[in-house]
Amino acid sequence: MTRVSIETKSEIIMKGLQNILEGYEVLDFYKDAGEDFDILIFEDKNLEKLEVDKIRLIDEKNIPLVIDYSLLSYWASADEVREGIDKTLRGYIYIEESLKEAKTNRSYKFEKLKTLNRREKKLLEEIILGKTNKEISREIFISEKTIKNNLTSVYKKLGVSGRKEIIKNYSQIKY
């Protein structure tokens, strides 16, 4: 029987995975420390360096740029969890479909960010912080008219129509 160790501090996630993993022997990573297991399902980023077959539970906003282990979202179906375990144990890196889409979308946004010059990146940061053109102008010592012109360039490069779209699409991306 496949032994699955689950690392989470959430009782709800633990119970949910235990229910999904009927037919597997489920271990609690903390309570059953020292027990051998076949695969680890984990949340704690610090465990990603462990040299074991593993699947990380992650939300769409925190997908790593470089992926060298399997990934499941917190919204994965029971079938996706079981498929992830099966494929990971067979040596594959399994990435749930919704996470693939989110990673592709984020990579596309990241590529767009790379087209911005230093001043435009600074403007982007200030917009995300909710600052007005006037506040930005005073802070970086350029006229409001120049701010408006630079923002037009930022909007065009990022393919957005305004501040709200920038905040919605780019506030979670670290560049």
pLDDT tens-digit series, residues 58-74: 887 766 666 788 999 98
**By residue range, what is the domain housing residue 150?**
116-171
Task: Please list the alpha-helical segments (H only) found in 90-158.
Answer: 97-113, 118-128, 133-140, 144-158
Query: Same structural domain for residues 75 and 11?
Result: yes
Query: Same structural domain for residues 96 and 120?
Result: no
pLDDT in tens, 1-47: 999 999 999 999 999 999 999 999 999 999 999 999 999 999 998 89
Query: Same structural domain for residues 15 and 86?
Result: yes
Query: Same structural domain for residues 136 and 78?
Result: no
Indicate whether this model's pTM tops 0.75: no
Instruction: Let me know how long the chain is.
Output: 175
Look at residue 27 and tell me if it is in a domain: yes
Query: Same structural domain for residues 59 and 138?
Result: no
Q: Which of 115, 114, 75, 81 is nearest to 98 (CA)?
A: 75
Rg value, the chain, Cα? 21
pLDDT band at 107 (very low <50, low <70, confident <90, very high): low
Query: Same structural domain for residues 6 and 57?
Result: yes
Look at residue 167 and tell me if it is in a domain: yes
Look at residue 107 and tell me if it is in a domain: no
The number of folded domains in the chain is 2
* pLDDT value of position 11: 94
